[in-house]
Structure 1
Amino acid sequence: MEFDTLDRRPGIAVFDPIENARFELYTDDPVAPEPTATDEFYFPVDAAVAFETTAVEIPNYLSVVVRTQDGEISVDATTFDDRSLPADDYLLELQSTPMKLYVAVRGELELNHDETSVTIRFDGSRRPRVGTRSFHERPTGTITVTDDVEDAMKAVSLLGSALKTTSCERSFPTLRGHPPLVERGKSFDVPDGVERPETGVELVMPPEREYVYPAASLAYYLGAAVVPGDEPRLVADGVERSLDGPDGYETTVNRVLRQSFFLDCLTRTEGYYDVDLYEREQVESLVDLDFADLYGRSLAAQLDAYLSVPFETLEPYVLDWHLTTDVVPTAENLPALPYFADELSLVRTPRRPDVASVEPTPETFDDFTRARTTAAVADGEFTRSTSDEWNWDDDEMFQVQAADTVEHAWVGSGYPIGANKVTLESLRRKVDHTPPDDSALTVHVVCNDSAMADENVVGEFYGLRDLITFDVSIHERTTADELATLFETSADFLHYIGHVDDEGFLCADGYLDARSLDDVNVDAFLLNACRSYRQGEMLVEKGSRGGVVTLAEVINSSATNVGRALARLLSCGFSLRTALGLAKDEVLVSVEYVTIGDGGLTLCQSESGVPAMFQIRREEDCYLLEHHTFVASSYGIGSMVSSILEESPTRYLVPGSRPRFELSAEEVDDALDLELLPVEMDGRLYWSDDFSLTDG
Structure 2
Amino acid sequence: MEFDTLDRRSGIAIFDPVENVRFELYTENRPSIEPTETAGFYFPIDAAVGFETGAIEVPNHLSVVVRTQDGSIVTDATTFDGLSLPFDAYLLEVQSTPMKLYIAVEGSLSLDHGETSAMIRFDERRRVRIGARSFHDQPAGTITVTDDIEDAMAALSLLGSALKTTSCERSFPTLRGHPPVIEFGESFDVPSDIERPETGVELVVPPERQYVYPAASLAYYLGAELVAGGAPRLRVGEFEHSLSGPDGYEAAVNRTLRQVFFLDCLTRTEGYYPVELHERERVEPLVDLDFTALYGQPLAKQLPEYLSIPFETLRPHVPDWHLTTDVVPTVETLPALPYFADELSLLRTPRDPATYTSRPKPKMFDDFTRTAAVAAGDFTRSTADAWDWGEDELFQIERADTIEHAWVGNGYPIGANKVSIESLRQRVDYTAPDDSALKVHVVCNDVAMDEENVVGQFYGLRDFVAFDVSIHEETTTDELATLFQSEADFIHYIGHVDDSGFHCTDGCLDANTLPEVNVDAFLLNACRSYRQGTALVEKGSKGGVVTLAEVINSSATKIGRSLARLLNCGFSLRSALSIAKEELAGGVEYITVGDGGVTLCQSESGAPTMFRVSRDGEEFLLEHSLFPTANYGLGSITSSEVEQFRTRYLASDSFMQFRLSADEFEQSLELELLPVKIDGELYWSDELSIDDV
**Smaller-chain TM-score bracket:** 0.7 to 0.9
Establish whether residue 507 from structure 1 lines up as the match of residue 504 from structure 2. yes
Q: Which residue of 2 aligns with 1:7?
A: none
Q: 2:126, 2:499 → 1: CA distance?
A: 71
Q: Which residue of 1 aligns with 2:440?
A: 443
Establish whether residue 470 from structure 1 lines up as the match of residue 470 from structure 2. no
Establish whether residue 139 from structure 1 lines up as the match of residue 136 from structure 2. no
Establish whether residue 459 from structure 1 lines up as the match of residue 456 from structure 2. yes
Q: Which residue of 1 aligns with 2:587?
A: 590
Q: 2:98, 2:692 → 1: CA distance?
A: 43
Query: Are residues 463 and 21 of structure 1, via their aligned partners in 2, closer, same or farther at CA, if it must alter by over 3 Å?
Result: closer
SS of corresponding position for 1:463: coil
SS of corresponding position for 1:455: helix
Query: Are residues 441 and 425 of structure 1, via their aligned partners in 2, closer, same or farther at CA, if it must alter by over 3 Å?
Result: same
Establish whether residue 494 from structure 1 lines up as the match of residue 494 from structure 2. no
Q: 2:356, 2:484 → 1: CA distance?
A: 36
Q: Which residue of 2 aligns with 1:376?
A: 374
Query: What is the one-letter code of the residue matched to 1:664?
Result: S
Q: Which residue of 2 aligns with 1:186?
A: 186
Query: What is the one-letter code of the residue matched to 2:73?
Result: E
Query: Are residues 361 and 443 of structure 1, via their aligned partners in 2, closer, same or farther at CA, if it must alter by over 3 Å?
Result: same
Structure with larger RCO (C-alpha < 8 A, sep 6+): 2
Q: Which residue of 2 aligns with 1:692?
A: 689
Q: Which residue of 2 aligns with 1:604?
A: 601
Cα offset, 1:667, TM superposition:
2.9
Is the contact made by 1:77 and 1:95 (CA closer than 8 Å) also made in structure 2? no
Cα offset, 1:59, TM superposition:
11
Q: 2:35, 2:423 → 1: CA distance?
A: 43
Query: What is the one-letter code of the residue matched to 2:193?
Result: G
Query: Are residues 279 and 449 of structure 1, via their aligned partners in 2, closer, same or farther at CA, if it must alter by over 3 Å?
Result: same
Is the contact made by 1:669 and 1:694 (CA closer than 8 Å) also made in structure 2? no
Tell me the alpha carbon deviations over residues 636-680 of structure 1, each in whole angstroms, 9 at most, x when there is no partner. 111111112111431111123133222234432221121111111
Query: Are residues 328 and 32 of structure 1, via their aligned partners in 2, closer, same or farther at CA, if it must alter by over 3 Å?
Result: closer
Q: 1:425, 1:342 → 2: CA distance?
A: 16
Tell me the alpha carbon deviations over residues 379-408 of structure 1, each in whole angstroms, 9 at most, x when there is no partner. 122111111213345751111111111111
Tell me the alpha carbon deviations over residues 14-61 of structure 1, each in whole angstroms, 9 at most, x when there is no partner. 9999999999x9x9999996989x9xx5x6x59999x9x997999997
Q: Which residue of 2 aligns with 1:5?
A: none
Tell me the alpha carbon deviations over residues 282-331 of structure 1, each in whole angstroms, 9 at most, x when there is no partner. 22222121211111321222111111111111112111100011111111
Is the contact made by 2:160 and 2:224 (CA closer than 8 Å) also made in structure 1? yes
The partner residue of 1:565 within 562, 582, 596 is: 562
Q: Sequence identity, in percent?
A: 64
Query: Are residues 435 and 500 of structure 1, via their aligned partners in 2, closer, same or farther at CA, if it must alter by over 3 Å?
Result: same
Q: 5 Å matches for 1:396-415? A: 396-415=393-412
Is the contact made by 2:201 and 2:300 (CA closer than 8 Å) also made in structure 1? yes
Tell me the alpha carbon deviations over residues 152-191 of structure 1, each in whole angstroms, 9 at most, x when there is no partner. 1111111001111111111110101000111011111111
Cα offset, 1:504, TM superposition:
0.4
Q: 5 Å matches for 1:278-357? A: 278-350=278-350, 351-354=352-355
Q: 2:76, 2:397 → 1: CA distance?
A: 50
Is the contact made by 1:358 and 1:396 (CA closer than 8 Å) also made in structure 2? yes
Is the contact made by 1:48 and 1:129 (CA closer than 8 Å) also made in structure 2? no
Cα offset, 1:65, TM superposition:
3.7
Q: Which residue of 2 aligns with 1:232?
A: 232
Q: 1:34, 1:467 → 2: CA distance?
A: 25
Is the contact made by 1:35 and 1:48 (CA closer than 8 Å) also made in structure 2? no
Q: 2:137, 2:672 → 1: CA distance?
A: 29
Q: Which residue of 2 aligns with 1:255?
A: 255
Q: Which residue of 1 aligns with 2:8?
A: none
Establish whether residue 387 from structure 1 lines up as the match of residue 388 from structure 2. no
SS of corresponding position for 2:137: coil
Q: Which residue of 2 aligns with 1:269?
A: 269
The partner residue of 1:629 within 626, 629, 653 is: 626
Establish whether residue 554 from structure 1 lines up as the match of residue 551 from structure 2. yes
Cα offset, 1:590, TM superposition:
2.1
Q: 5 Å matches for 1:20-59? A: 41=42, 45=44
Q: 1:541, 1:598 → 2: CA distance?
A: 12
Q: 1:288, 1:312 → 2: CA distance?
A: 15
Decide which moves more: 428-437 or 224-233. 428-437
Q: 1:250, 1:507 → 2: CA distance?
A: 48
Query: What is the one-letter code of the residue matched to 1:492?
Result: D
Query: What is the one-letter code of the residue matched to 1:316?
Result: P
Establish whether residue 217 from structure 1 lines up as the match of residue 217 from structure 2. yes
Q: 1:561, 1:104 → 2: CA distance?
A: 47
Cα offset, 1:434, TM superposition:
2.6
SS of corresponding position for 2:546: strand
Cα offset, 1:469, TM superposition:
1.9
User: What residue ranges of structure 1 are gaps of 5+ in the alignment?
Assistant: 3-13
Query: Are residues 345 and 54 of structure 1, via their aligned partners in 2, closer, same or farther at CA, if it must alter by over 3 Å?
Result: closer
Q: Which residue of 2 aligns with 1:10?
A: none
Q: 2:447, 2:16 → 1: CA distance?
A: 48
Is the contact made by 1:28 and 1:56 (CA closer than 8 Å) also made in structure 2? no
Establish whether residue 540 from structure 1 lines up as the match of residue 509 from structure 2. no
Q: Which residue of 2 aligns with 1:641?
A: 638
Query: Are residues 87 and 151 of structure 1, via their aligned partners in 2, closer, same or farther at CA, if it must alter by over 3 Å?
Result: same
Query: Are residues 610 and 34 of structure 1, via their aligned partners in 2, closer, same or farther at CA, if it must alter by over 3 Å?
Result: closer
Q: Which residue of 1 aligns with 2:477?
A: 480
Q: 2:466, 2:33 → 1: CA distance?
A: 35
Tell me the alpha carbon deviations over residues 421-468 of structure 1, each in whole angstroms, 9 at most, x when there is no partner. 111110010001134242221111111111111111111111222332
Q: 1:54, 1:386 → 2: CA distance?
A: 61
Q: 2:52, 2:472 → 1: CA distance?
A: 51
Q: Which residue of 1 aligns with 2:651?
A: 654
Cα offset, 1:502, TM superposition:
0.6
Query: Are residues 624 and 28 of structure 1, via their aligned partners in 2, closer, same or farther at CA, if it must alter by over 3 Å?
Result: closer
Q: Which residue of 1 aligns with 2:244?
A: 244
Query: Are residues 88 and 32 of structure 1, via their aligned partners in 2, closer, same or farther at CA, if it must alter by over 3 Å?
Result: closer
Q: CA RMSD in A?
A: 3.8
Is the contact made by 1:202 and 1:224 (CA closer than 8 Å) also made in structure 2? yes
- Report the TM-score when normalising by structure 2: 0.87
SS of corresponding position for 2:641: coil
Cα offset, 1:560, TM superposition:
0.7
Q: 1:621, 1:632 → 2: CA distance?
A: 35
Q: 1:34, 1:412 → 2: CA distance?
A: 44
Is the contact made by 1:112 and 1:120 (CA closer than 8 Å) also made in structure 2? yes
Is the contact made by 2:76 and 2:275 (CA closer than 8 Å) also made in structure 1? no
Q: 2:392, 2:368 → 1: CA distance?
A: 20
Residues matched between the structures, number = 670
Q: Which residue of 1 aligns with 2:74?
A: 73
Tell me the alpha carbon deviations over residues 352-405 of structure 1, each in whole angstroms, 9 at most, x when there is no partner. 25279733544x245314xx311634x122111111213345751111111111
SS of corresponding position for 1:657: coil
Cα offset, 1:691, TM superposition:
1.5
Cα offset, 1:259, TM superposition:
0.8
Q: Which residue of 2 aligns with 1:153?
A: 153
Cα offset, 1:77, TM superposition:
7.8
SS of corresponding position for 2:275: coil
Is the contact made by 2:618 and 2:662 (CA closer than 8 Å) also made in structure 1? no
Q: 2:311, 2:542 → 1: CA distance?
A: 37
Q: Which residue of 2 aligns with 1:8?
A: none
Tell me the alpha carbon deviations over residues 189-216 of structure 1, each in whole angstroms, 9 at most, x when there is no partner. 1112111111121111111111111000
Decide which moves more: 198-207 or 466-475. 466-475
